[in-house]
Amino acid sequence: MGAVGASNAETWALALRRSFGVPDIVGWEAAKERMTRELLPLITERESIMFRGWERKIADKALELLVVGAGAGELDGLVVGSPEVDVVFVAYGLVDGADLEDFDDHMVVSLRALVIELATRLVAFVHAHPYIDTTGRYFDGI
């Protein structure tokens, strides 16, 4: 069960925002912009010049896939340490199940790598801050 009154996807989105240090009071669009800005260098340092201009699209899609997938329970096995689930398997499942008709093969490869990084970051954050009280606050004060 997530924060009271929040859907599972909303609770995961809150954890994702917090993993980037985005205050809860900030709206989703501003939070997404802040997270995307932090992700852009991760894409550009890994990719060649041909991706210039597509980085934001890749980052936005990665955030979307992670929040929707986590809300649907796709990260649960990672959080509880299920031995038959690993982050690469989960990331590939999220990306391969998405509508990516306007992504070319190189963009999909970059998207997979970014989703792996984001999922790893988010699961590590949840491991460090595993409990949410009835107001949506982590018990350790984060």
Taking residues 16-42, report their average pLDDT.
90
| pTM for the structure as a whole | 0.82
Beta-bridge partner residues of 132: 138
Query: With contact defined as beta carbons under 8 Å apart, do 71 and 7 qualify?
Result: yes
Taking residues 29-48, report their average pLDDT.
81
User: pLDDT grade, residue 17 (50/70/90)?
Assistant: very high
CA dist 60 and 34 (Å) reads 11
For residues 84 and 89, the model is more confident at 89
Beta-bridge partner residues of 138: 132
Helix and strand element counts for the chain (H, E): 6, 0
Report whether pLDDT(100) > 80: yes
- The Cα-based distances of 127 to 15, 17, 76, 83 in angstroms read 11, 15, 12, 16
Report whether pLDDT(81) > 60: yes
Phi-psi region of 136 (alpha: psi -120 to 50; beta: other; left: phi over 0): left
Reading the block at residue 5, the tokens are 């009154």
